[in-house]
């Protein structure tokens, strides 16, 4: 299939999902978030991630539907997750299924967001005396508890332990995976004249007890600026109040720069 040309592995057409005949209903819904649905798969050690067209900001207070976003973000996530796998960063990714699904390892996700910052922007500028655009060397790694009601408070290593989220050794491993992810993604974007300002990942434990990068990696979870112009190519366009047409065009441009073709929307 043409999809293979830009690196998505083992892509199967829509009528198949693993060994599931797509003329039959998808697996039952296990959970549903703001931007994705998690469904059961044929194997208990796998689940299906189905991406949605919803777009949110401000802890879910701002929400819209952006037609085509599910297709774009699922392709980009699969592209980045495969790239990490090729560079020996363990992720939950197994297979992409057209048009907007991924088969992934069934992880026990930690209720934590891990943020890595290369350039000062967003909350770092808002909460600390540092100017936007300031390079950060070394990169800054931050942890946040996923809790919209409390506006995702910041965590440190001690919080992980007292909240029984992870051991100190696991926190060390999570930071190592985050910094390696940063190196891989930064190099990939630099090759396309793009700057990785910052990004968010989520992690979980596999059935083997090991820590894996999970969830998604795309324009919803990264800040990406164009070299030379500092043009924004991520969800910040939506956060800053851009029109839905402008937001969609931003996602399309990111897709084209990363994958070298127009998205199938």
- 66 and 36 housed in the same domain: yes
Domain count, the chain: 2
- 234 and 121 housed in the same domain: yes
- 210 and 227 housed in the same domain: yes
Please say which residue of 72, 106, 140 terminates a domain. 106
pLDDT tens profile 83-120? 999 999 999 999 999 999 999 999 999 999 999 999 99
pLDDT tens profile 26-68? 789 999 999 999 999 989 999 999 999 999 988 778 999 999 9
Q: What is the CATH number of the domain that holds 62?
A: 3.30.200.20
The closest of 196, 194, 147, 203 to 175, measured between CA atoms, is 203
pLDDT tens profile 225-252? 999 999 999 999 999 999 999 999 999 9
Is 50 exceeded by the pLDDT of residue 186?
A: yes
Question: What range defines the domain where residue 73 resides?
Answer: 2-106
Q: What is the CATH number of the domain that holds 136?
A: 3.30.470.20
- 47 and 101 housed in the same domain: yes
Residue 249 lies in a domain: no
> In terms of pTM, does the model score above 0.85?
yes
| DSSP string over 187-217 | HHHHTTTEEEEEEEEEEEE-TTS-EEEES--
If you average pLDDT over every residue of the chain, what do you get?
A: 91
Three-state DSSP at 217 gives coil
């Amino acid at each position: 299939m043409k999809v293979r040309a830009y690196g998505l592995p083992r892509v199967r057409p829509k009528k198949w999902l693993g060994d599931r005949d797509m003329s039959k209903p998808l697996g039952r819904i296990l959970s549903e978030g703001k931007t994705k649905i998690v469904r059961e798969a044929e194997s208990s050690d796998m689940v299906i991630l189905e991406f949605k067209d919803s777009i949110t900001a401000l802890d879910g207070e701002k929400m819209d539907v952006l037609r085509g976003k599910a297709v774009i973000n699922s392709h980009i996530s699969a592209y980045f997750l495969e790239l990490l796998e090729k560079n020996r960063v363990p992720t939950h990714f197994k297979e992409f299924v057209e048009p907007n699904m991924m088969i992934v390892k069934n992880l026990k996700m930690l209720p934590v967001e891990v943020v890595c910052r290369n350039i000062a922007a967003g909350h770092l500028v808002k909460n600390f005396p540092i100017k936007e655009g300031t390079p950060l060397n070394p990169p800054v790694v931050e942890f946040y508890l996923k809790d919209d009601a409390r506006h995702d408070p910041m965590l440190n290593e001690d919080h992980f332990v007292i909240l029984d989220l992870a051991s100190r050794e696991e926190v060390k491993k999570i930071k190592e995976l985050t910094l390696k992810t940063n190196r891989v993604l930064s190099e990939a974007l630099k090759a396309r004249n793009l700057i990785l300002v910052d990004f968010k990942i989520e992690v979980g434990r596999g059935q083997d007890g090991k820590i894996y990068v999970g969830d998604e990696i795309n324009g919803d979870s990264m800040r990406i600026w164009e070299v030379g112009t500092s043009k924004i190519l991520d969800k910040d366009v939506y956060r800053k109040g851009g029109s839905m047409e402008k937001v969609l065009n931003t996602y399309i441009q990111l897709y084209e720069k990363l994958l070298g073709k127009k998205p199938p929307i």
